[in-house]
């Protein structure tokens, strides 16, 4: 059943703002709801990072903020759930954590093999300052049931049944 008071809004934010939410444990990169696999390999992650350097707009990220304000929280925590955009956010977060080095870059070949800590500041600043379009979901009167969140995800990602299942296998 679709909640009557579901709030959906959009805004722009900086990647740095999202990373700060992760650092402060407001976004759990290992959320309980989806148990997503890390389906992007290092080449795809590096390509995404390079796209940020090229100032290519980042696809919209969808976040559910209901848990921040709802005392009937089914998980007992106050985390933001990532409905869509997990692999994009994870590409930046895991790079900043030193989980991989940049590889197979098409334009910034001088950065090949570098980790976040070795990256010149101008590139770090480019990532931090990159704009992200965000759709915010908020349902202050109730928690969205898992099936409703999946329904939203499938509506945002019509290719879900074909692409994601194929990539996860």
CA 21, chain centre distance (Å): 11
Do the domain assignments include residue 107? yes
pLDDT digits (tens, 9 = 90+) for 13-53: 999 999 998 998 888 776 555 545 678 999 999 999 999 99
Domain that holds residue 41: 7-168
- Tell me which of 29 and 104 has the higher pLDDT: 104
Do the domain assignments include residue 46? yes
> What pLDDT does 1 receive?
45
Do the domain assignments include residue 65? yes
Do the domain assignments include residue 102? yes
Structure tokens at 22: 């992760």
Do the domain assignments include residue 2? no
- Tell me which of 167 and 96 has the higher pLDDT: 96
Would you give the DSSP letter of residue 145?
P
CA 107, chain centre distance (Å): 24
pLDDT digits (tens, 9 = 90+) for 126-143: 999 999 999 887 765 455
**14-18, 29-33, 64-68, 121-125: which range is least confident on average?**
29-33
Q: How many domains does the chain have?
A: 1
Do the domain assignments include residue 1? no
Do the domain assignments include residue 22? yes
Do the domain assignments include residue 133? yes
């Amino acid at each position: 059943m679709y909640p009557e008071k579901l709030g959906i809004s959009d805004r722009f934010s900086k990647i740095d703002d999202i990373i700060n939410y992760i650092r402060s444990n407001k976004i759990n990169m290992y959320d309980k709801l989806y148990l997503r696999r890390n389906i992007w390999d290092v080449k795809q992650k590096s390509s995404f990072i390079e796209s940020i350097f090229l100032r290519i707009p980042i696809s919209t990220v969808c976040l559910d903020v209901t848990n921040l304000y709802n005392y009937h929280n089914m998980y007992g925590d106050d985390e933001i759930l990532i409905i869509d955009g997990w692999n994009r956010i994870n590409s930046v977060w895991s790079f900043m954590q030193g989980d991989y080095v940049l590889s197979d870059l098409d334009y910034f070949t001088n950065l090949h093999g570098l980790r976040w800590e070795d990256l010149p500041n101008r590139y770090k600043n480019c990532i931090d300052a990159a704009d992200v379009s965000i759709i915010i979901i908020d349902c202050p009167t109730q928690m969205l049931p898992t099936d409703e969140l999946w329904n939203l995800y499938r509506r945002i990602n019509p290719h879900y049944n074909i692409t994601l299942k194929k990539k996860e296998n």
